[in-house]
Structure 1
Amino acid sequence: MPEGLKLDAPRLEDGAAIWRIARDSKTLDLNSSYSYLLWCRDFADTSVVARDAAGEPVGFVTGYLRPQSPLTLVVWQVAVDEAQRGRGLAAAMLDGLTLRVAEDLGIDGIETTITPDNTPSNRLFTSYAERHGAALEREVLFDAGVFPEEGHEPEVLYRIGPVAALTERRAANRP
């Protein structure tokens, strides 16, 4: 974890800051500000924020448990404030979130989708799989033609798991 920062569950009042970080990333598909407020309310257990010394969000990972596969955390978005980039924060948030969710909710793997041109996310999730010695499968989940707007790239599904550290964390917390 980069010095001076800490991981925390998002709170409702973080929604506006998370929306601004997503907007300013200039790489994420920006959702409505309302959706980030809902995310902080309804999916705080499967999401994380990084806070600076003043307690302000400087990065986030949003996720949810996949209804058809409740041992899988789907990572929706990852973003880091521009001033905090290059410090390993995205990887620290992803590691911290997945370990917490494994302990609390019992996941053993993750999924996410990434467009082919998003090099930082491709690196983040590939290095996550390597760091944890987990299998990584990739396949196109949503072809460009299914999106209503022109020019949207395909979304490639990254399926990572099982992740030994998550499986061990889950097993350690069973009664």
Structure 2
Amino acid sequence: MTAGPVRLRPPARADGPDLRDLVMRCPPLDLNSVYLYLLLGEHFSDTCVLAEDQDGLLGMVSGYRPPGRDDTLFVWQVAVDPRARGRGLGLDMLLGLLSRRGRSPVRWVETTVGPGNRASRKLFARLAVRLGAALDETTLFEAALFGSGAHEAEPLLRIGPFTLPVPEAGRIS
């Protein structure tokens, strides 16, 4: 259960340790170093969003624009704290991020989601419906590319094209 209104904001450098802790609470997400999460706040704050309430961090979406493809937002990780799940926060964060004014409009969202990650697959299917756009799946990273670590394949999900502005997020106050 969340406490009070939820606020969306870009990450800051100082959020790095809290972002790592959040991802640690959100299996099956791959956990990265604090350094990487520091970089999200320092270099990628315009393509990432955090959700928080008075008790702290509830969620985050990290992403970037692939080189030479300014019309595309690649969503790298979506994390929602267990206490905030089931309320549409992931979709609200994605819509909030897409509604930001950027250097050029986003017309495509891409991400990779393992076949077993049903929650993320449902989230991106809902995003495609909300944007009125197609969702296509193609091969990107086969399981063998991850080495002997027994990592699931990561197919590419591509949503678009769509036209901004996106519909407003639903329940964020």
TM-score, normalised to structure 2, is: 0.89
The 4+ residue runs of structure 1 with deviation greater than 2 A are: 164-167
* Alpha-carbon distance between aligned partners in 2 of 1:96 and 1:108, rounded to the nearest angstrom: 15
Cα root mean square deviation, aligned: 1.7
Tell me, yes or no, if the aligned pair for 1:108 and 1:166 is still in contact at 8 Å.
no
> Per the alignment, do residues 74 and 166 of structure 1 end up closer, same or farther by CA in structure 2, a change over 3 Å counting?
farther
TM-score, normalised to structure 1, is: 0.88
Amino acid at match of 2:131: H
* Alpha-carbon distance between aligned partners in 2 of 1:121 and 1:34, rounded to the nearest angstrom: 25
Tell me, yes or no, if the aligned pair for 1:28 and 1:77 is still in contact at 8 Å.
yes
The SS at the match of 2:102 is: helix
* Alpha-carbon distance between aligned partners in 2 of 1:150 and 1:104, rounded to the nearest angstrom: 37
The answer for the alignment partner of 1:104 in structure 2 is: 102
Mapping of residues 104-143 of structure 1, within 5 Å: 104-105=102-103, 106-143=105-142
Q: Deviations over 1:107-141 (max 9, x none)?
A: 11110000000000000001100111101110110
Gaps of 5+ in 2: 167-173
Tell me, yes or no, if the aligned pair for 1:107 and 1:166 is still in contact at 8 Å.
no
Gaps of 5+ in 1: 168-175
Following superposition, the deviation at residue 166 of structure 1 comes to: 4.3
* Alpha-carbon distance between aligned partners in 1 of 2:92 and 2:85, rounded to the nearest angstrom: 12
Following superposition, the deviation at residue 15 of structure 1 comes to: 1.1
* Alpha-carbon distance between aligned partners in 2 of 1:26 and 1:68, rounded to the nearest angstrom: 32
Following superposition, the deviation at residue 92 of structure 1 comes to: 0.3
Q: Deviations over 1:53-76 (max 9, x none)?
A: 25x321000000011311100000
Amino acid at match of 2:41: C
* Alpha-carbon distance between aligned partners in 1 of 2:165 and 2:63, rounded to the nearest angstrom: 16
Mapping of residues 6-155 of structure 1, within 5 Å: 6-54=7-55, 56-100=56-100, 103-105=101-103, 106-155=105-154
Aligned-pair identity in percent equals 42
When the two structures are aligned, how many residues end up with a matched partner?
A: 164
Following superposition, the deviation at residue 7 of structure 1 comes to: 0.5
Tell me, yes or no, if the aligned pair for 1:5 and 1:50 is still in contact at 8 Å.
yes
Choose between structure 1 and 2: higher helix proportion: 1
Amino acid at match of 1:13: A
* Alpha-carbon distance between aligned partners in 1 of 2:66 and 2:165, rounded to the nearest angstrom: 16
